[in-house]
Every structure is written in structure tokens, then in C-alpha cells.
């Protein structure tokens, strides 16, 4: 016999599930303009997918009550107990569902579901709370009526005791605990349910509809992911500096309009491993030769030290400037116009390939947020050849890059295809058929670097025979560095140095550029847009086109202890204790000489860094990275 407490939990859960769906309907109705270009199917799917998030939120917020409901029934039948638990049930769900009601309007201001970062501006919210409640008193009345209906219909404990044996007593409670654990986790998938899983399409609005605010709020937490750093009294001053230092000094090149774009992101592929950067001593014979035919930037830097941060840096121009990667942070649902989203608006087809298990580092979900139409991971990759897999991570580099050629063959043109390789990662697996072919070097990664380099050579060997080859921009970089055994790469700067090659085989005109220019991940998106001749008024103010010879290149990064900055003249870090805050001048990135901190070139760089950090930090908190024009007009 099903015990009363189980029926009570099930009945109240279903009522709350209906209430959450009703609040989602309110969100849809109140923000119809956000969904003008969303298909009815996607809206229906948002409601269906939203049930997972609703289930998790309901179980999380009502978990203390569930524990109360499972205590012996003789206590539950007492009047005082029933009144207390009903009051708690009403209060908890009034607050939780009320958050959904509030966000139906608040989303118009912040462009996302509220999360813990809302508390960072809690003073402003508190000061405006009474006026907000009065302005939206209709919401308050509707919420009160909805909660009253739930309480009225909510099942109560029976007045008569029901006796069960010890087996039934234990069984039903274990069943409840198991169901709660599964429901809160969001299912059996590789990673627990996360707010960014709501973005199952490339349309940002659909993700907002799928989410509910209690879930988004509870899944965010005080992790000190970012500080509200304000180096200037107003945002406009910082934005002006960031804009001045990232705006083209000329009209866009537009020499490759509607050309295809291929971006290869090589796992852990440090500049240290390339012969072209180290007097011929390296493990990349193909890339060394390709660099001679490419626009090769020898002083390129990653904007991250982790793959999960490298992806947004390369594809969106958003550097890793906080403790937690943006992909898993409270800002994952912020508006972020990444390269695939921009190009999709210009009729490009977009594909992202990464051979690891689906869910690995949330790349599959982030690819949707970034705007990729198609994602190919381990689940989607053809399984007809067992030798295509390394039995550890997923698809080996050679078969994945060969598959990328097939994707380019079949993709509607123009197209953007990005491939994130994985073989040059622990356990550094090399297929048996290539045993002994690549130098083992001095580090265990070196042999797989050789294998990845060979895989890239096979990719280009196939690609150059295709009709799309001479109308394609190829960009090759890496997500981050890894192990090092060279002294000159053992400093702070060496830990960020990754290659950047831009190969444009079909371009007749030779572009002006400096191979010694300081470049970074954040420069890739503006460079591609410069070549394609695409302008974006509300662009991200983080990087420059590497072909803009009228502007000096620079790089900046975050190390958890400080922000550091490098341009063609000076290097300094900002935020460390005084004895580690020395500014330095250099002739190249390997010879640094301490200079006074008040050096004029240092001050120019410091203002540049402060402007960008202020813009990025406050832009993430306010979800205004692309709304900066409002602050300066």
C-alpha cells in the first residue's frame, strides 16, 4: 500500500510543477517581443525541457519539507504540526514562484534570469523594492492567487493512522531519497543539470524561457567568480578607453567577403613545441612549413590556461578574467555574440567538432550558446571504425580532422567550421600504426604533438583538392600551453604562449602585417570580421584585428592574483603585493628589464588595462557587454 506521505509529496510536487509552467507561460506572454523569431516548436520544446529544471528547483527548495513529511505519521496528524508545515510550504513556494514572476519583468533590464550576482547590487534592489512592488502589484496579486490555489488543492495528511511494516517504512523513504537525488541532478547525464543546459538551440531567448529563476539562483552561489572592479567613476570612461584601443584605424579589409572560415584549436599546443619559434628545434614539421606560407605571429598569447576558458576566448573574444570559467559561471546565460552567431546572421552555416564525450567541459552546450548550428562529439561521430578512437577521451585527431573535410564538403556555403582536437592530452595516446614514427622528445606530450601535427598535414592534404579550399580562411591556434622543459618558457609569459597562424591560400593580395606583433586569442574574432568585411556596431571591446598596422598590439590576462599586461614596449602586472608589482621594459618577450612604475609607457598600458577590466567585469555583472553604446551616448 502506498503510504500517505508519499501521496502527499507526489500530489504537492505535481501542483508545483503546474505552477512553474504557469509562471513560464507568464514569462512568455509578458515578453512576447523576445520570441518574435522563435518557432512554435521551439517554444513547445522550451516548456518540455523546462520540466527538468522545474523538477530540480522544486525538489531543491522543498527538500527540508520532504524530510519533515517523512517523519512518523502520528506527529504529522497533530494540528500544530499541520499548521507549521503548511505555513512553511506556503512561504517557501511563494518566494520561489515569486522569483519567476519578478523575472518576467526584470529580464527586460538584465537580459537573463536572475542569479546570485543579483546580490552584488542588492543595495540598489532593496532601495527600489517598495516602488517595484507597487508598480507591479498586478503580479503580486496574481502570485498570491496562484499560491492560494496551490495551498487549497494541496493534499494533507490523513487523520487516521496507517500502519506499515519496517520493510515498507524503509522502502518508501529510500525511494523518495533516490527520486529526489535524481530529480535534483536533472537525470543520468554525464554532468549535473546546469543553467546553460537550457540553451538547446542557438536562440538565446529560448534558453531564458526554458530556465526558471529559482534553479538559476540556487545553481549560482558566492564563488567570488568576479569582482565588481571599478577603476573609473563611471562606466563610460572605461568603455571609451576599451573602444579606442580596439577600433580599426581604417575601413575593414573585406578582401575575403563570404569566404569560408576554418578554425583549428589544437589541444595543449604550446609555441614551445614548434620548430619555427625555436630555431628549428621542435616537433611540428608540417606547421613549421605552413607558417612560412601563412601570416604567422610568433608572439601570440592565450587568454586562458584551461580548455574550458580557451574556447570562449578563441570563438567569442572573451578572455578568462575570473576564477571560474564563463562556461560554468553565473554569467553563462549572458548575451555573448560569438563568431558563429555573428556569421550565422550573414547566412553562414556553422559547425563545431570536438571528439570527447558529449558533456565534456560543457562544450556541446556552449556550442549552442556560441551560435553553432551543428555539434559533432563522440556521440555523433560515426562508429564504423574502432581505430578512430583512443579508448580514453574519444575521437583521435586524424579521423576527426578527416571528418572535418567531409563536413566542409557537405556544408552549405559559406560556412564556419571549428575543430577542437584532443589527442595531445593525457594519456597522450598515439595509434599503434604510428608507433615509433614521431620523436618521443623529452616530455611525454611531445610524441602526440608530432601526431597532431601529422593529422593537421593530412587535413590540408585532403582540403587542398577541394573547390572550397581557395575561398577559405584557415586559422590555427591552441587553447593553452602545457608542460615545459625550456627555461625561456618557464616564466609567466611563457606559460601563455601558443601559436597563431592565419593561412589564406586563395588571397592574391599580400597583406601588411608584423610577425612580431603582440597578439592574443581575443584578436581572432575581430581579425576574421576584418577579413570578411563585416562590421558590428555593438561588438565586444576586447581585441583588435592583427592586420591593423595602425594600432599597437597588446595582451592581458588574469592569474587569480593579478591582471597582467604586455605590449611591444612594457610588461607589468596589477594587483600583486608591492614587491611583485614591478614594471618592466623589453626588446622582445624574453628580455625584461625593471623600470619605474611611473614610466609613461607603463601608465599608458595601465590605463588601457584598467579600461578593459572595468568594461569586462561590470559588463558581465550587468549583462551589458554588447550594450555599451548606451553608456556613452
| DSSP structural state of residue 497 | B
Distance CA(340)–CA(102), nearest Å, equals: 32
Please tell me the distance from the alpha carbon of residue 187 to that of residue 183, in angstroms, as a whole number: 6
In degrees, to the nearest 5, what angle opens at C-alpha 562 toward C-alphas 515 and 297? 10
For residue 304, pLDDT beyond 90: no
pLDDT of residue 615: 94
* pLDDT of res. 68: 82
For range 191-214, the mean pLDDT: 84
Provide the pLDDT for residue 234. 87
Q: What is the pLDDT of residue 621?
A: 87
| Residue 88 to residues 17, 66, 154, Cα–Cα distance (Å) | 18, 11, 13
- Mean pLDDT for all residues in the chain: 88
Residues in the chain: 633
By mean pLDDT, which of 73-82, 169-178, 326-335 is the weakest?
73-82
CB 460 within 8 A of CB 468: no
CA atoms of 212 and 566, how far apart (whole Å): 42
| pLDDT band, residue 458 (cuts 50/70/90) | very high
Measured from the Cβ of residue 22, the count of other Cβ atoms closer than 10 Å reads: 17
**pLDDT-based confidence at residue 324 (cuts at 50, 70, 90):** confident
* pLDDT at res. 224: 47
pLDDT band per the 50, 70, 90 thresholds, residue 146: very high
Mean pLDDT value across residues 320-335: 80
Alpha helix ranges (H) inside 117-249: 122-135, 137-153, 166-185, 204-210, 213-219, 235-244
Whole-number Å distance between alpha carbons of 350 and 375? 9
Report the distance separating Cα 520 and Cα 501, nearest Å.
Answer: 12
For residue 136, is pLDDT > 80?
A: no
List pLDDT tens digits, range 388-415.
999 788 999 999 999 999 999 999 999 9
- As separate numbers, helices (DSSP H) first and strands (DSSP E) second, the chain gives 19, 14
In the sheet that 583-586 helps form, which strands lie side by side, from edge to edge? Answer: 554-558, 563-567, 570-574, 583-586, 592-595
How many angstroms separate the CA atoms of 214 and 57, rounded?
A: 6
Give the mean pLDDT of 148-173. 79
For residues 615 and 242, give the distance between their C-alpha atoms in angstroms, rounded to a whole number: 7
Distances (CA, A) of 150 to 59, 154, 156, 493: 16, 6, 12, 59
Q: Which of 29-43, 127-141, 343-357, 615-629 has the lowest mean pLDDT?
A: 127-141
Here the cell at position 51 is 520540466
pLDDT tens column, 437-449: 999 999 999 999 9
- 95 Cβ contact partners less than 8 Å away, ≥ 6 residues apart: none
User: Residue 481 in contact with residue 495, Cβ under 8 Å?
Assistant: yes
So what's the pLDDT on residue 489?
83
Residue predicted with more confidence, 126 or 235: 235
What percent of the chain clears pLDDT 90, i.e. is strictly above it? 58
Q: Are 387 and 362 in contact (CB under 8 A)?
A: no
Distance CA 162, CA 344 (A): 62
Residues 307, 290: Cα–Cα separation, whole Å: 24
Strand bridging mode 415-420 / 349-354:
parallel
**Contact assessment for residue 10 and residue 176, using Cβ atoms and an 8 Å cutoff:** no
Neighbours of 628 (CB within 10 A): 23
**Helix axis angle, 122-135 to 137-153, nearest 10°:** 80
Give the highest mean pLDDT range of 37-46, 514-523, 617-626: 514-523
- CA-CA distance, 145 to 141, in Å (whole number)? 6
**Local confidence band at 556 (pLDDT 50, 70, 90 cut-offs):** very high
Specify the pLDDT at position 75: 66
* Tens digit of each residue's pLDDT (9 = 90 or more) over 575-600: 654 445 678 888 766 677 888 888 89
- Which of the two residues, 365 and 521, has the higher pLDDT score? 521
pLDDT value of residue 127: 43
For the beta carbon of residue 394, count every other beta carbon within 10 angstroms. 21
Q: Across the chain, which distance is largest between two alpha carbons, in Å?
A: 88
pLDDT score, position 588: 67
Torsion angle in degrees (nearest 10) through CA of 535, 538, 503, 459: -120
Coil/strand/helix, residue 187? coil
Do strands 295-296 and 500-503 pair parallel, antiparallel, or not at all (unpaired)? Answer: antiparallel
pLDDT, tens digit (0-9, with 9 covering 90-100), for 235-286: 899 999 999 999 999 999 999 999 999 999 999 999 999 999 998 999 999 9
So what's the pLDDT on residue 130?
A: 57
Give the pLDDT confidence score for residue 17 in this predicted structure.
96
What pLDDT is recorded for position 74? Answer: 66
Q: Percent of the chain at pLDDT above 70?
A: 90
Within 300-362, residue ranges assigned H as helices are 307-316, 339-344
State residue 172 phi and psi, 5-degree precision: -65, -35
Phi, psi of 519 (to 5 degrees): -130, 170
- Of 479 and 121, more confident: 479
pLDDT confidence of residue 161: 58
pLDDT at 607 over 50: yes
DSSP 393-449: SBB-HHHHHHHHHHHHHHSPSSEEEEEE--SSSTT----GGGTTTS---SSTTHHHH
Instruction: Give the per-residue SS3 of 261-294.
Output: EEEEEECCCCHHHCHHHCCCCCCCHHHHHHHHHC
Amino acid at each position: 500500500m502506498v503510504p500517505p506521505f508519499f501521496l502527499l509529496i507526489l500530489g504537492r510536487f505535481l501542483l508545483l510543477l503546474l505552477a512553474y509552467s504557469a509562471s513560464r507561460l507568464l514569462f512568455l506572454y509578458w515578453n512576447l517581443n523576445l520570441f518574435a523569431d522563435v518557432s512554435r516548436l521551439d517554444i513547445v520544446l522550451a516548456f518540455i525541457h523546462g520540466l527538468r529544471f522545474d523538477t530540480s528547483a522544486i525538489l531543491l527548495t522543498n527538500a527540508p519539507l520532504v524530510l519533515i513529511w517523512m517523519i512518523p505519521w502520528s506527529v504529522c496528524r497533530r494540528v500544530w504540526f499541520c499548521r507549521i508545515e503548511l505555513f512553511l510550504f506556503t512561504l517557501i513556494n511563494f518566494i520561489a514562484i515569486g522569483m519567476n514572476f519578478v523575472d518576467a519583468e526584470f529580464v527586460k533590464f538584465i537580459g537573463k534570469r536572475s542569479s546570485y550576482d543579483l546580490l552584488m547590487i542588492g543595495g540598489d534592489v532593496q532601495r527600489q523594492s517598495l516602488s517595484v512592488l507597487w508598480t507591479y502589484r498586478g503580479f503580486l496579486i496574481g502570485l498570491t492567487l496562484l499560491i492560494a490555489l496551490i495551498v487549497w488543492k494541496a493534499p494533507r495528511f490523513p487523520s487516521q493512522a496507517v500502519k506499515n511494516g519496517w520493510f515498507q517504512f524503509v522502502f518508501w523513504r529510500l525511494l523518495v531519497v533516490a527520486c529526489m537525488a535524481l530529480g535534483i541532478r536533472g537525470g543520468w547525464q554525464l554532468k549535473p543539470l546546469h543553467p546553460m543546459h537550457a540553451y538547446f538551440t542557438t536562440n538565446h531567448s529560448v534558453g531564458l524561457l526554458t530556465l526558471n529563476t529559482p534553479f538559476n539562483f540556487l545553481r549560482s552561489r558566492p564563488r567570488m567568480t568576479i569582482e565588481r572592479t571599478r577603476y573609473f567613476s563611471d562606466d563610460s570612461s572605461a568603455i571609451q578607453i576599451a573602444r579606442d584601443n580596439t577600433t580599426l584605424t581604417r575601413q575593414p579589409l573585406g578582401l575575403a567577403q563570404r569566404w569560408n572560415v576554418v578554425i583549428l584549436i589544437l589541444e595543449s599546443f604550446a609555441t614551445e613545441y614548434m620548430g619555427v619559434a625555436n630555431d628549428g628545434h621542435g616537433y611540428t614539421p608540417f606547421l613549421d612549413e605552413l607558417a612560412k606560407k601563412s601570416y604567422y605571429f610568433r608572439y601570440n598569447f592565450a587568454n586562458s590556461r584551461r580548455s574550458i576558458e580557451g574556447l570562449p576566448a578563441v570563438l567569442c573574444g572573451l578572455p578568462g578574467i575570473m576564477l571560474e570559467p564563463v562556461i560554468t559561471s553565473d554569467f553563462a546565460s549572458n548575451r555573448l555574440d560569438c563568431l558563429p552567431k555573428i556569421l550565422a546572421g550573414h547566412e553562414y552555416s556553422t559547425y563545431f567538432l570536438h571528439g570527447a564525450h558529449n558533456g565534456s567541459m560543457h562544450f556541446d552546450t556552449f556550442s549552442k550558446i556560441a551560435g553553432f548550428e551543428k555539434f559533432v562529439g563522440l556521440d555523433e561521430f560515426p562508429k564504423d571504425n574502432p581505430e578512430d578512437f583512443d579508448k580514453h577521451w574519444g575521437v583521435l585527431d586524424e579521423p576527426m580532422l578527416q571528418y572535418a573535410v567531409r563536413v566542409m564538403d557537405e556544408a552549405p556555403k559559406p560556412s564556419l567550421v571549428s575543430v577542437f582536437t584532443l589527442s595531445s592530452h593525457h594519456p597522450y595516446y598515439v595509434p599503434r600504426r604510428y608507433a615509433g614514427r614521431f620523436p618521443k622528445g623529452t616530455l611525454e606530450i611531445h610524441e602526440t604533438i608530432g601526431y597532431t601535427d601529422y593529422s593537421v598535414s593530412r587535413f590540408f592534404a585532403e582540403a587542398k583538392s577541394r573547390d572550397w579550399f581557395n575561398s577559405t580562411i584557415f586559422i590555427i591556434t591552441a587553447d593553452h600551453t602545457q608542460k615545459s622543459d625550456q627555461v625561456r618558457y618557464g616564466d609567466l609569459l611563457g606559460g601563455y604562449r601558443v601559436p597563431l597562424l592565419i593561412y589564406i591560400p586563395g588571397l592574391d593580395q599580400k597583406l601588411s602585417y608584423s610577425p612580431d606583433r603582440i597578439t592574443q586569442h581575443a584578436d581572432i574574432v575581430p581579425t576574421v570580421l576584418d577579413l570578411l568585411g563585416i562590421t558590428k556596431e555593438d561588438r565586444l571591446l576586447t581585441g583588435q584585428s592583427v592586420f591593423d598596422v595602425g594600432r599597437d598590439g597588446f595582451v592581458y590576462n588574469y592569474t587569480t592574483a593579478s591582471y597582467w599586461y604586455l605590449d611591444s614596449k612594457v610588461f607589468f602586472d596589477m594587483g600583486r603585493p608591492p614587491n611583485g608589482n614591478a614594471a618592466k621594459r623589453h626588446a622582445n618577450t624574453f628580455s625584461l628589464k625593471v623600470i619605474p612604475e611611473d614610466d609613461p609607457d607603463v601608465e599608458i598600458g595601465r590605463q588601457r588595462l584598467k579600461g578593459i577590466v572595468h568594461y569586462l567585469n561590470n559588463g558581465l555583472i550587468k549583462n551589458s557587454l554588447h550594450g555599451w553604446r548606451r553608456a556613452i551616448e
